[in-house]
Homo-oligomer: A and B are copies of this chain.
Amino acid sequence: MVYEMAHIDVIRGREADFEAAVSKAVPLFTRARGCSGVELHRTVEQPNRYVLMVKWNTVDDHMVHFRESADFQEWRRLVGPFFEKPPVVNHTEVAVG
């Protein structure tokens, strides 16, 4: 199990639109191969900064199978207009806990 951590800065004033678009996009993730959950976190200290956390079985489920799918294009169509700059994406695995 790995966690995609996508750090997304949203154009100020478009936060509610972005959150609505992510809500609409949730099924794109939940039906993806190897995906077992998605959560969008809003940063308390900087409310236009978000972390999208997606649980994947493997990094390839995200970076190969999802990124090359039509659903990824749909994801970007829905949420891309609200990005202030390109997201910064990495992956984590639980070390303790």
Q: Which residues of A contact B (CB under 8 A)?
A: 2-3, 5, 19, 22-23, 26, 37-46, 50-51, 59, 90-97
Contact = CB atoms under 8 A, between A and B. Distances in A.
A6 B23 CA distance: 26
Number of copies: 2
A5 to B, nearest CB: 7
B95 A44 contact: no
B44 A2 contact: yes
A22 to B, nearest CB: 5
Given A5-B51, A51-B5, A40 B97 contact: yes
B92 A42 contact: yes
A95 B41 contact: yes
A34 to B, nearest CB: 15
